[in-house]
Amino acid sequence: MRLLVVGANGLLGSNVVDAGQQRGWDVCGTYHSTRPAFDVPLAQFDLGDYEEFGKILGEYEPDVVVNCAAMTDVDGCEQDPERAQLLNGDAPGGLAAQCDDRDVEFVHISTDYVFDGAARNPYTEEAAPNPVQAYGESKLAGERAVRSESETALIARLSFVWGIHRSTDDLTGFPAWVRGKLRSGEAVPLFTDQWVTPTRAGQAADTLLDLIAREKVELYHVACASCVTPYEFGTVIAEQMGADSALVREGTMADVDRAATRPTYSCLDVGNVEDELNRAQPTVREDVASVWNAVQ
């Protein structure tokens, strides 16, 4: 299996490269601003030039493309919605069309932020999207563009992604920030009024490759099985570190001034992917425990 990872230097992309290598797949990738330290063929590629993607397909001749690249700065998308639409909305459709023309399988990554957060039970794949910020709008446009260009694409929605970046080996995302604060003995104020299903990038990468191996062409929610607040997630990290859990303090979303609105509740129901793969998604506690020895 020849796997081309678009966005190989991203947190998820680096884990997809690593997961492909672990399986003995023939892996190659693209990067945008930073060339990752993988010993695989890599090409520089800007999503903004998505019409040129055919050249990369011609050069590497992959069986499957996984698009992990995106404009992921939620507040940056709010400030530049045209660029968000170009990179997150238009480009994925262009990549999907060019893959479809060449009979290359296409996998696209989307987000829990396609939802408005009004729910109080985890969102299933059938729930109606209704994004409340430019990032979610652009990502939903990307999902729709991919589906209109390719009936066979696999689309996976993730939530609150964190993990070990597999090119730098650094812990990345929310747990790295919490760990840094706790290590220096600082109090960490964490939201008690936001609910997410934290997705460990390595677990998501393995799940994506499992779905690819099964030739799935649907929409799946891929996240952990725990719907938690950042406060609860931070408490799990403090326990795992053996840190003083009194340093984890209660905070609210209103305490932070940000350009983009966040949904208060964006937990994803992972029942479909569990049924398909006939195994349970990990709890957040299991996910943290599974990598902590490598990062402390």
Ligand X SMILES: NC(=O)c1ccc[n+]([C@@H]2O[C@H](COP(=O)([O-])OP(=O)(O)OC[C@H]3O[C@@H](n4cnc5c(N)ncnc54)[C@H](OP(=O)(O)O)[C@@H]3O)[C@@H](O)[C@H]2O)c1
The residue within the footprint of ligand X, chosen from 16, 70, 84, 248 (CB under 6 A), is 70
Q: List the 105-111 sheet strands across, edge first.
A: 42-44, 26-31, 2-6, 64-67, 105-111, 154-158, 219-221
Nearest distance from residue 161's CB to ligand X, in Å? Answer: 4
Contact in structure between 223 and 270 (CB atoms under 8 Å) = yes
Site for ligand X in 126-145 (CB under 6 A): 139
Q: What is the number of other CB atoms lying within 10 angstroms of the CB of residue 177? A: 15
What track of x and - describes contact with ligand X for positions 21 through 50 (by CB under 6 A)?
A: ----------xxxx----------xxxx--
Q: How far is the CA of 76 from the CAs of 49, 159, 164, 167, in angstroms?
A: 20, 18, 24, 25
Q: Does 159 bind ligand X (CB under 6 A)?
A: yes
Q: How far apart are CA 265 and CA 113, in angstroms?
A: 9
Site for ligand X in 48-67 (CB under 6 A): 48
Q: Does 2 bind ligand X (CB under 6 A)?
A: no
Contact in structure between 182 and 245 (CB atoms under 8 Å) = no
As annotated, the active-site residues are: 135
Could you tell me which of 74, 248, 75 has the C-alpha nearest to residue 161? 74
State the number of binding residues for ligand X (CB under 6 A).
28
Site for ligand X in 101-120 (CB under 6 A): 109, 111-112
The residue within the footprint of ligand X, chosen from 27, 68, 134, 209 (CB under 6 A), is 68
Residue closer to ligand X, measured from CB, 197 or 272? 197
User: What's the token pair of residue 126?
Assistant: 């059938």
* Residues contributing to the site for ligand X (CB under 6 A): 7, 9-13, 31-34, 45-48, 68-72, 87, 109, 111-112, 139, 158-161
